[in-house]
Chain A
Amino acid sequence: MTTDTAVADPTTGEGGVPLLHTLNEWQRRVPLLQLLALAALYVYGLSTIEGFGSQRVLYAILVNASLLGLAGAGQTIVVLVGGIDFSIAAFISAGNVIIAELCGTDHWSTGAAVAVALAVGVLGGLVNGVLSYRFKVEPLIVTLGVSALLSGLVLKWINGSATGVAPAWLGTLTAANGTTFGIGIPPVVVIWAVVAIVIGLVLTRTRAGRNLYLTGVNQSAARLALVRVNRTWIYAYVASAVLATCVGILLAGYSGSGNVTIGDPYLFQSLAAVIVGGTMFGGRGDYWRTVLGALVLSVVALLLSANQLSSAAQDMITGGLILVVVGLYGRERRLRDRI
C-alpha cells in the first residue's frame, strides 16, 4: 500500500495460473466457496446422520439460521460501513427481556411493548454511532461499553432475574412446525426471506446502500464526494441495534420466556456469519453472503449436536472457519494490490 504508483505489470502476480485467477475472479462476484461448503456439509449430514434429510431437520436448521441471519444483518451493515458491533448480543437480550417482562409480568399490550423495545434499540444505536463517529472512539470499545451498560440496566430493572413469559403468538412465529398463512413454512423463515430481499435491495439499489459502501471503502473520498458520512455511519449503528432488538423479540417466542443471557451466543456468532459469508471490513461484500454464512454455521451446529459433540467443538470449528475465510480473502487482497 505504500507505493503510490500502481503500474500494471503482467509479469508479476499470479498471472501464471490462469485457472486460479479465473476462480478468484468468480469468487469476487459470487461466494462460490461458501456455496460449495454449504453443499458439502449438507451432503455429509445426509450420508452420516439418519433422518438428516427430513423436513423437520431442515426447518430446524432454517429457523436457527433465520435468527442468526437476522442478528447478522445489522452486523453486515456495520461491517460494510467500516465499523464493528459487539453490542448485538446485549440488544438481543434487552429486546427479549423487555417483551417478556412488559407483556408477561406487567400485562402491557404487545404493540406498546414492541414500541418500547424498538425505542431502546434506536437510542442505543444512536449512542453507539454518535460516540464512535463524533468522538472518534474505536467502535469495538464503544459497543462493548454500551453492551455492558445495557446489560447492567436490564438486570437492575428486573432485579436480577427474568420472570416474564412471552406472548403465546410470538412462539408460533419461530416454531419449526409453524405455518405462514396456511403454508407449511415457519413464519420466521419467511420473515428472514423478506428482510433479506429488502436489505439486498437497499444495499445494491438505493442511495442509502451505495453511501454505506462509499463510506466503508474510503471515508475521506466519500466525504469529498458529498456523502453525509456522519449520518451514514450513525444510521448503520441504529439499524444494527434495531435489528438485534427484533431478534430478541423473536427469541422471546422461541424460548417462551425472558432470559437475560439469551443473546450471549450471538456476540460472536453474528460476526462469524458475516465473515464466514465473506464480507470484509469496509465495503466488500453484501447481505447474501451473510445469509450463506448463517446457513453454513447452522448446518455445522446441527451436525455437531447430532454427533453429540460439545459446544467447545462448535466454537473450535467456527473459529477455524473464520480463520480459513479470512486467510483466503487476505490472500486475494494481496493479489489484487499486485495487479
Chain B
Amino acid sequence: MSEQSQVALEVTGLAKSFGATRALRSCSLRLLAGEVHALMGENGSGKSTLVKILTGVHAPDSGGYRVGGRAVRLGGPAAAIAAGVMAVYQEVLVVGPRSVLENVWLGADGVFRRKISEADKRARAAAVLGELLGEAPDLDTPVEQLSLSDRQACGIARALVREPRVLILDEATSALDVATRDRLFEALARRRSAGMAVLFVSHRMDEVDAISDRVSVLRSGESVATLEAADATTAELVRLMTGAEHLTDIPEGGAPAHRSGPAADAPVLLRVRGLRLRPDADPVDFELRAGETVGLAGLEGHGQDAFINALWHGPAGAGSVARVEVGGETEIRSEQRAAAAGIGYVPRDRRGEALFGTLSIRENFSAATQDKDTRFGLLSRASALGRFAEYRSGLKVRMGRESDPITTLSGGNQQKVVIARWLARRPDVLLLNDPTRGVDIGAKRDIYALLDELTARGVAVVMLSTEVDEHIELMDRVLVFREGSHSTTLDRPSLTRQSLVAAFFGRTVTSSVAGSASPDGDS
C-alpha cells in the first residue's frame, strides 16, 4: 500500500466567497482511510461551506479535492456521491409519508429502472438499521411514524447502505438519542477498520473525544491546525478556534466608551420564568433591566433564536414572558401584545421578514406606526416624512429620495430603515435578531452608536449575534445557549473570546488573561 492510496480525502486550498463575504479563505485537509476526523470551529468559520463544497452543493472559487487519489469532477451532488462522498446533516431529511425502505434507498433508482433488487435492498436496509437501532423497524412503515431519533437513523442508514469512501456527519448526531448515538459510534468503528473515512463535524466535545482519531480546526474560513486526539485538549482547541489574530471587522480599541452597564437600581422591564425552548430542555429564567445590553449567543440552532422569538411572540411551550411595568405585569402572548407593551423586534431575515421590497423607503419606515400618520382617516405623507427625518439623520441613512424603492439602498441602510421603523414606536425594550448580518462596517458602527444612545436613555436591548466580537465589545452580559437551554451567563469581567467560545461548546476556561484580554479600555 502506497502512502497515496491511504488518503481517502485530500482538500487543497479551497476558497469560496458569497458576494462580499469570504466564507472559506483557504482550507486544506487530509483524511486518511480508516480514521474518524473531527472538524471544529465556531459560527461562520466555514464548516458548512466546506461540507457543501465536498458534497457538490457549491462549486469552490479556487482549490479542489481528491477522493481516493482521484480529483473529483465538480458536477453537483450526483458527482460527489458517485465519487463516494455521502453526507448526513443536522436537519432530519426524510420524506415523511414514504416508507422506511424507500427513505433508506432514496435516489438509488433511475426514473424507470431499478438498479438494485428489492430483496437486496430490504436485506441491506434491515442490516444497517439493525446496527443503528438494535432492531430494525418494519421497513414498510411510513417514516413519519418513527421518532425523530429513528428518522435521523434512517437518514444515516441512507448514507451507510451505499458504503461510501468518505462519510460526512455534519452535526448529524444532535437529533439522535444517546443509545442510538452509541450504536452509531460502534458502527463507525467497524467501518473504520474496513477503510471508511469519517469527517465528523460536531459541537460536542465529549463526542469528539469519544470517537475521533484526529481533530482539525477551522477559523475564519482557514484550516489552522490538525491535532492528534490526544493533544486536543479543550484549552488548546478553544485557543485555536478563537485565535489571537482573529480576523474582525471591529478594530482593536474600537469599543464604545460607556460600558458602565445599567445602574444597580435600574427597574426590571422583562421577566422570563420557566421558559422551555424544547420540551426536553431545562427551563430558562431571565430578567432584563432598563439600560442593559444583553447578548444572546451560542452555536447556530441551540435555542437563542427560539428565545428571542419567545420574547416577542410569547412562549411556544411552557413558561411565561412578562413585561414588568409600574402598574404590574403584562403577559406576552402575541406580537401585538408585545408591541403594545413597548417591545420592538427587528427580525433576523431582512429580506424575508422585514423588507417590503417593492415599496418606498417612506412606506417601509412607517409600516408599524401608521396610526401616527393618520389624519381624519387618511394617511399623511408629510407626517411620515417629518417623523422619518429625525431617524434619517440620527442613523445616518444614506439614500436618495424617500419615494425611492427600499431596494435602492445598500444592505446596511436598509437595516437602518428597519430599525428606525421600530424606534419610531419608542420601545422600552428593543429585541434585535442578528441585526448586523450582511451589513457593512460603516453601518455597523452607526448601529452600535445608536445602541449606546438608546441604553443611555434607559432602553433595554436584547441582541442575538452570531459574531463573537460583537458580544465582547457591546454587551453588558451574554447569555450562552446550548442544547435548547440557557447554559451560562458571562458578565463583563469574564467576557472574553476564549470564555465565550468555550461556553459555546459547553466548557469553561479558567483564563488567566481574562482581565487583560477584555477590551474594556475607557481611553
On whether the two chains bind one another, the answer is: yes
Interface residues of A (CB under 8 A from B): 3-8, 201, 205-207, 210-211, 213-214, 217-218, 220-227, 282-284, 336, 339
Please state if B358 and A283 are interface contacts (CB–CB under 8 Å): yes
Provide the residues of chain A in CB contact with B438, threshold 8 Å: 4-5
Shortest distance from the beta carbon of A21 to any chain B beta carbon, whole Å = 13
Tell me the bound Cα distance from A4 to B18 in angstroms.
Answer: 8
Which of B18, B354, B379 is A224 in contact with, Cβ under 8 Å? Answer: B354
B351 in contact with A284 (CB, 8 Å): no
Which of A207, A223, A282 has the most B CB atoms < 10 Å from its CB? A207
Which residues of A lie under 8 Å from residue B410 when comparing CB positions?
6-8
Given A5-B18, A225-B367, A336-B407, are A218 and B355 neighbors across the interface (CB < 8 Å)? yes
Q: Are A7 and B19 in contact, CB atoms less than 8 angstroms apart?
A: yes
On chain B, the residues within 8 Å of A336 by CB distance are 405, 407
Residues of chain B from 341 to 387 with CB closer than 8 A to chain A in the complex: 345, 347, 351-359, 363, 367-368, 370-371, 374, 377-379
Q: Is the CB of B351 within 8 A of A4?
A: yes
Partner of A221, one of B336, B354, B405, B407: B354
Given A5-B20, A206-B377, A214-B367, residue A226 in contact with residue B356 (CB < 8 A): no
- Which of A5, A218, A224, A284: most chain B Cβ within 10 A? A224
What distance in Å separates the Cβ of B122 from its nearest Cβ neighbour in chain A?
A: 37
Q: How far, in whole Å, are A218 and B414 apart by their CA atoms in the complex?
A: 15
What chain A residues lie within 8 Å of B335 (beta carbons)?
223-224, 226
- In whole angstroms, how far apart are the Cα atoms of A213 and B364 in the complex? 11
Give the secondary structure class of B's interface.
mixed
Does B408 have its Cβ within 8 Å of any Cβ on chain A? yes
- Residue from the list B353, B367, B370, B408 in contact with A220, Cβ < 8 A: B353
Q: Which of A8, A218, A283 has the most CB of B within 10 A?
A: A218
Contact with A along B26-70 (1 / 0, CB 8 A): 000000000000000000000000000000000000000000000
Contact A217-B358, Cβ < 8 Å, known A4-B351, A224-B335: yes
| Interface 0/1 of B383-418, CB less than 8 Å to A | 000000000000000000000010110110000000
Query: Would you call B356 and A221 a contact (CB within 8 A)?
Result: yes
Within the complex, what minimum Cβ distance (angstroms) separates A31 from chain B? 15
Min CB–CB distance A246 → chain B (angstroms): 23
Given contacts A5-B411, A225-B421, contact A283 B21 (CB under 8 A): no
Contact indicator A6/B379 (Cβ below 8 Å): no
Q: Which residue of B lies closest to A28 (CB)?
A: B405
The answer to whether B355 and A207 have CB atoms under 8 Å apart is: no
Measured CB to CB, the closest approach of chain B to A98, in angstroms, equals 32
Residues from chain B with a CB closer than 8 A to the CB of A201 are 378
The answer to whether residues A205 and B367 also contact, given A218-B357, A339-B408 and a CB cut-off of 8 A, is: no
- Tell me whether B358 and A7 are in contact (CB under 8 A): no
Whole-angstrom distance between the Cβ of B297 and the nearest chain A Cβ: 22
Q: Least Cβ distance of A294 to chain B in Å?
A: 23
Whether B339 sits at the interface, judged by CB under 8 Å, is yes
CB distance from A76 to the nearest CB of B (A): 16
* Complex contacts, B18 vs chain A, CB 8 Å: 3-5
A3 touches B19 (CB 8 A): yes
Q: A214-B356, A221-B354, A221-B355 are in contact. List 19 more A-B contacts (CB 8 A).
A: A3-B18, A4-B351, A5-B20, A5-B21, A6-B410, A7-B410, A8-B410, A201-B378, A205-B378, A206-B377, A210-B367, A217-B358, A218-B353, A220-B352, A225-B421, A283-B358, A284-B358, A339-B407, A339-B408
B353 touches A213 (CB 8 A): no
Residues of A within 8 A of B336 (CB): 226
Q: Which residues of A contact B357 (CB under 8 A)?
A: 217-218
Interchain residue pairs with CB less than 8 A apart (28)? A5-B18, A5-B19, A5-B411, A6-B407, A6-B410, A7-B20, A7-B410, A207-B371, A207-B379, A210-B379, A211-B370, A213-B363, A214-B359, A214-B363, A218-B353, A218-B356, A218-B357, A221-B353, A221-B367, A222-B356, A224-B347, A225-B421, A226-B339, A284-B358, A336-B405, A336-B407, A339-B407, A339-B408
Assuming the contacts A207-B374, A224-B347, asked whether A213 and B359 have C-beta atoms less than 8 A apart, the reply is yes
A14 to chain B, nearest CB (A): 15
Beta-carbon nearest neighbor of B381 in chain A: A205
A224 touches B359 (CB 8 A): no
CB distance from A117 to the nearest CB of B (A): 28
Write out the residue numbers on chain A whose beta carbons fall within 8 Å of the beta carbon of B19.
3-5, 7
Please give me the 9 A-B residue pairs with the lowest Cβ-Cβ distance, nearest first: A5-B19, A225-B367, A217-B356, A225-B368, A205-B378, A207-B370, A220-B353, A284-B358, A226-B368
A232 to B18, CA, bound (A): 37
**CB-nearest residue of chain A to B375:** A205
Residue numbers in B under 8 Å from A207 (CB-CB):
370-371, 374, 379
Provide the residues of chain B in CB contact with A213, threshold 8 Å.
Answer: 356, 359, 363
Which of A205, A226, A227, A283 contacts B359, CB < 8 Å?
A283
Docked complex Cα distance between A7 and B18 (Å): 11
Q: CA of A8 to CA of B336 in the docked complex: distance in angstroms? A: 35
Which residues of A are found within 8 Å of B339, using beta-carbon distances? Answer: 226
- Give Cα A283 to B406, complex, Å: 14
Complex: how many Å from CA A225 to CA B20?
A: 29
Given the complex, which residues of A lie within 8 Å of B367, measured CB to CB? Answer: 210, 214, 221-222, 225, 227
Minimum C-beta distance from A250 to chain B (A): 28
Q: A221 vs B421: C-alpha distance in the bound complex, in angstroms?
A: 12
**Residue from B379, B407, B408 within 8 A of A205 (CB atoms):** B379
Complex CA distance for A227 and B405, rounded to whole angstroms: 20
In the assembled complex, which residues on chain A have CB atoms less than 8 Å from the CB atom of B378? 201, 205-206
Chain B residues contacting A3 (CB-CB under 8 Å) are 18-19
Minimum CB distance partner of B352 in chain A: A220
Distance (whole angstroms) from the CB of A337 to the closest CB of chain B:
8
- Nearest-Cβ distance from residue A217 to partner chain B, whole angstroms: 4
- Is A206 a contact of B356 with CB atoms below 8 Å? no
What's the Cα separation between A7 and B438 when bound, in Å?
10
Taking CB atoms, residues of chain B closer than 8 Å to A211 are 370
List the B side residues contacting A210 at CB < 8 Å. Answer: 363, 367, 370, 379
Q: How far is B356's CA from A214's CA once the two chains are assembled, in angstroms?
A: 7
Residue among A210, A222, A223, A284 facing the most chain B CB atoms (10 A cut-off): A210
A284 to B357 Cα, complex, angstroms: 10
State A207–B357 Cα separation when bound (angstroms).
19
CA–CA, A328 to B432, complex, Å? Answer: 39
Give the CA-CA distance A336 to B358 in the complex, in Å: 9
Taking the closest CB of chain B, its distance from the CB of A254, in whole angstroms, is 34
Chain A positions within 8 Å of B411 at CB level: 5-6
Assembly CA distance A221 to B364 (angstroms): 10
A172 to B416, CA, bound (A): 57
State how many angstroms separate the Cβ of B309 from the closest Cβ of chain A.
10
In the complex, chain A residues whose CB is within 8 Å of the CB of B370: 207, 210-211
CA distance A141 to B262 in the complex (A): 56
Bound-complex Cα distance A224 to B368 (A): 9
Contact across chains for A217 and B347 when beta carbons are under 8 A apart: no
User: What is the CA–CA distance of A211 and B356 in the complex, to the nearest angstrom?
Assistant: 11
Q: Which residues of B contact A283 (CB under 8 A)?
A: 356, 358-359
Minimum CB–CB distance from A191 to chain B (whole Å) comes to 22
Q: In the bound complex, how far is the Cα of B351 from the Cα of A3, in angstroms?
A: 11
Chain A residues within 8 Å of B359, by CB? 213-214, 217, 283
How many angstroms from the CA of A339 to the CA of B358 in the assembled complex? 13
Instruction: State in angstroms the CA–CA spacing of A207 and B345 once bound together.
Output: 21
Residues of A within 8 A of B421 (CB): 225
User: Smallest CB–CB gap between B323 and chain A, Å?
Assistant: 16
CA distance A213 to B379 in the complex (A): 14
Provide the bound-state CA to CA distance between A159 and B421, in Å: 57
- Whole-angstrom distance between the alpha carbons of A240 and B342 in the complex? 36
The minimal Cβ–Cβ distance linking A102 to chain B, given in whole angstroms, is: 35
